[in-house]
Amino acid sequence: MKASENFRKAIENYLSTLAQGDTAFAPHYAKASKNLESCLNYIFGEVKKTGFCAFDNQEIFDMAVTYYTDDSIGTPAPVACRAVVQTPAPADLFSQPAIPAVPMRTEPVPTVKKDVKPAVQTALTLFDL
C-alpha cells in the first residue's frame, strides 16, 4: 500500500516534531530498525484490526508513537487500503457554525399539581389533654 503524500507528511511531521521536543522519544525515533514505511504499514494493520473506518488524528499519531517505542513490533506486512487526510477548515471569526434546525415545542408542558393532605396526627399533644 502506498500512503498518500498528505498522510505520509502528517505522520512524518508529527513524529519529527515530537522527537525534537521530547528527549525520551528521540532515541526511539532514530532507531535503524524502524522506518516510516513500516510505521505506516503498522498503522494500516492496526486500523484494519479494529474494523473502523474513521479515526481521530491523535489516535493515528499514538499508533505511530507506539510503533517506534515498542521493540516487540517487527516489520509489519503491507496492507491494501487507502488513507484519506482531511485538514480541518480554518476558523472564521465572523460566522457561526451551522446549527441543525430542531423543531422547538411551542406548547408549554403542563405541570401536575399534587394535593397536599395534612398529615394524620396519631400522638397526643399537650393541648389535646
Q: Are 11 and 40 in contact (CB under 8 A)?
A: yes
| Averaged pLDDT for residues 100-121 | 68
Cell of 38: 513500516
Indicate whether 125 pLDDT > 70.
yes
What are the tens digits of pLDDT across the range 28-76? 888 888 888 889 889 888 888 888 877 888 898 999 999 999 888 888 8
pTM of the model: 0.61
